Amino acid sequence: MTDRKRTKLYLHLKKWLEKAAIDYDMIQEGDKVLVGVSGGFDSLALLDLLNTSMIFLPSFSIMAVNIDPGFDETHGDYDTLKNYFEGNGYDYVMEKTDIGIRTHSDWAKKNPCFLCSRLRRKRIVEIAEKHGCNKIVFAHHKDDIIETLLLNIFYAREISTMMPNQSLFNGKFHIIRPFAYIREDLIKKYAKEKNFPVIENRCPTAKVSKRKYIKDILDELEKDNKNVRENIFRSMSHVKLDYLLTSGYKKSNAHEYEQDEPFRFVEKG
Ligand code: SF4
Q: What is the pLDDT of residue 249?
A: 60
* pLDDT higher than 50, residue 235: yes
- Atom index in ligand 1 nearest the CA of residue 104 equals 5
Greater confidence (158 vs 251) lies with 158
Q: What is the pLDDT of residue 255?
A: 47
pLDDT category, 6, cuts 50, 70, 90?
A: confident
Residue 40 Cβ < 6 Å to ligand 1? no
- Atom index in ligand 1 nearest the CA of residue 116 equals 8
By most ligand atoms within 8 Å of CB, the mutation choice from 42, 68, 109, 203 for ligand 1 is: 203
Nearest to 140 by CA among 266, 12, 11: 266
Which domains are seen in the chain, by residue range? 8-253 (3.40.50.620)
Residue 43 Cβ < 6 Å to ligand 1? no
pLDDT category, 265, cuts 50, 70, 90?
A: low
Alpha carbon separation from 233 to 143, 150, 181 (Å, rounded): 9, 11, 9
Residue 160 Cβ < 6 Å to ligand 1? no
With beta carbons less than 8 A apart as the criterion, state whether 123 and 162 touch.
no
For strands 135-137 and 173-176, give the pairing: parallel
Tell me the mean pLDDT in the region 217-224: 98
152-189: per-residue pLDDT in tens?
A: 999 999 999 999 999 999 999 999 999 999 999 999 99
CA–centroid distance, residue 201 to ligand 1 (Å): 9
Residue 38 Cβ < 6 Å to ligand 1? no
The gap between the terminal CA atoms of the chain, to the nearest Å, is 31
20-75: per-residue pLDDT in tens?
A: 999 999 999 999 999 999 999 999 999 999 999 999 999 999 999 999 998 877 77
pLDDT category, 268, cuts 50, 70, 90?
A: low
* pLDDT higher than 80, residue 269: no
Percent of all residues in the chain with a pLDDT value above 70, rounded to a whole number: 90
Element (H, E) at 121: helix 112-130
